[in-house]
Structure 1
């Protein structure tokens, strides 16, 4: 039997040594085989395990798109200094976002659960806030910085919570937009508000996935695997995903 590795909700074949972008509009599922267009696949080098690569194709690409295509952060460090807030920084998208943002000319404030603070610091965050404290719930920077960019990976948060902490032209990029967030986006656009909340809908691109794979190969990015589960009992993986204590990614494999 050929061996496969699957991200929770998205399958990746190991024997083919290929990875491909996958995103919400295409759906997902738990299966041993899928069909992908050749021009959407990228090679997985032997230095990158199948499990490491599996996490990149949705969460990694979302973090990359939010930071680069949406926020305009240059990951070679050549951009102007930028203060960034990353919420839910220990989660799937969040843990990639912190690592990628660190490659740019950024100061990173991150929020997460108290038990994950040390972990998020190891990813490169400059300051980490306990999301359960009053300061954390208010999204306040310990150093008093105003945020130019917010990569919002955590639970839905009201505009009134974000607004006092934003610089004059700040943009919030919401990777899990709700109807309320989309309504806020439309309202800010209609009123020409310089501070905006912008939904991010993933558009998977093979060249971006290839970029991420190369970063992993070079040791500049890592997929942190919280846990692995057998494909024979996927309900255990879903239960783990639902407990809101996950660090990084969950992998389902044979």
Structure 2
């Protein structure tokens, strides 16, 4: 299919700031795949907090690399054309890709690197596939790499706390933790308590209740690993709830998180706070896809929007109260 010179619908922004009102609908040229690149028809793109934080200037002046910028990096779709050197994919293949800082996901077509792309089996929908990338990889990395958790039932039991457990990363973290020999305590809003229990959490606290605010386990557990997906909870709230070698993995680290990390290191504290920013790797995405295919991991989708209503999706994600993932389907 020769798409050279043809136009596509896309959504971009032209400067930092502006939120959902800063997004503009445009018609631009369909990109051409370069060496080792794939042109895909985007079937689903999932919005992550990093997307609107970059718009807000979090990574300025590094990202976006240039304006105007088509945001969103987590996509799933179908291969339309492959560039020179692409070995493992052909037109018609269903795929999941991470576009990273290059962005391009809020459009009808996007170009992905072959090295950042994995096959998508028919058991995994485009919306599920796009949702897995940053959120799933962050949950997986937090638990297994930083947290040292093994996702088998063999070792001594690990006590895990997941904050904001009904959000994008949190709902995956609960399910992944339960693949291991764990006791999972979770916090979320009152309306999502039953949902988080259904994902496997052993104890679920309303984060606005006194116990929830204090992160106290109802059965008195001290936590070995905390996957911290909420914001605004100080180290002093975590510290008394941790085992002597407990780790808090902060996936939305603020300046204070890096300061606490440094102080704990300097004072040789066995209790640690780890600020975490994850770059999804294809082998991690592939591992998560396999779990979805096997029915061991499910994606909760808060809402889906067509590309023409991308600003509503952007606003929904930015409000911070989505249950699971927000997806745009071009």
TM-score under structure 1 length normalisation:
0.94
Check conservation: 1:52, 1:223, Cα contact below 8 A. yes
Number of the residue aligned with 1:227: 303
Number of the residue aligned with 2:69: none
Q: Where does the alignment leave 5 or more consecutive residues of structure 2 unmatched?
A: 1-7, 9-40, 48-71, 80-93
Q: Which has the higher contact order (CA 8 A, sep 6+)?
A: 1
Number of the residue aligned with 2:77: 14
Distance 1:126 1:46, change over 3 A: same
Distance 1:79 1:22, change over 3 A: farther
Number of the residue aligned with 1:238: 314
Q: Where does the alignment leave 5 or more consecutive residues of structure 1 unmatched?
A: none
CA apart distance, 1:47: 0.7
Number of the residue aligned with 1:100: 176
How many angstroms apart in 1 are the aligned matches of 2:284 and 2:167?
20
Number of the residue aligned with 1:150: 226
1:162-173 matched pairs, under 5 angstroms: 162-173=238-249
How many angstroms apart in 2 are the aligned matches of 1:114 and 1:3?
35
Check conservation: 2:157, 2:181, Cα contact below 8 A. yes
Distance 1:152 1:27, change over 3 A: farther
1:86-235 matched pairs, under 5 angstroms: 86-235=162-311
Check conservation: 1:20, 1:36, Cα contact below 8 A. yes
CA apart distance, 1:29: 5.3
1:51-70 matched pairs, under 5 angstroms: 51-70=127-146
Aligned to 2:112, the other structure's residue is in SS state coil
Aligned to 2:211, the other structure's residue is in SS state helix
Does residue 324 of structure 2 align to residue 248 of structure 1? yes
How many angstroms apart in 1 are the aligned matches of 2:155 and 2:232?
29
More displaced 10-residue stretch of structure 1: 235-244 or 43-52: 235-244
CA apart distance, 1:26: 5.5
Deviations 1:172-219 (A, max 9, x none): 001111111011001101111000100111022111110100000010
Deviations 1:132-185 (A, max 9, x none): 011111110001111111000011310111111111110100111111101100
Check conservation: 1:96, 1:223, Cα contact below 8 A. yes
Aligned to 1:85, the other structure's residue is in SS state strand
Aligned residues: 253
How many angstroms apart in 1 are the aligned matches of 2:108 and 2:291?
27
Aligned to 2:208, the other structure's residue is in SS state coil
Q: 2:110 aligns with which of 21, 30, 34?
A: 34
Structure whose residues are more often strand by fraction? 2
- The Cα RMSD (Å) is 1.7
Deviations 1:89-121 (A, max 9, x none): 000000000000000010000000000000000
Structure whose residues are more often helix by fraction? 1
More displaced 10-residue stretch of structure 1: 179-188 or 73-82: 73-82
Does residue 120 of structure 2 align to residue 44 of structure 1? yes
How many angstroms apart in 2 are the aligned matches of 1:20 and 1:14?
8
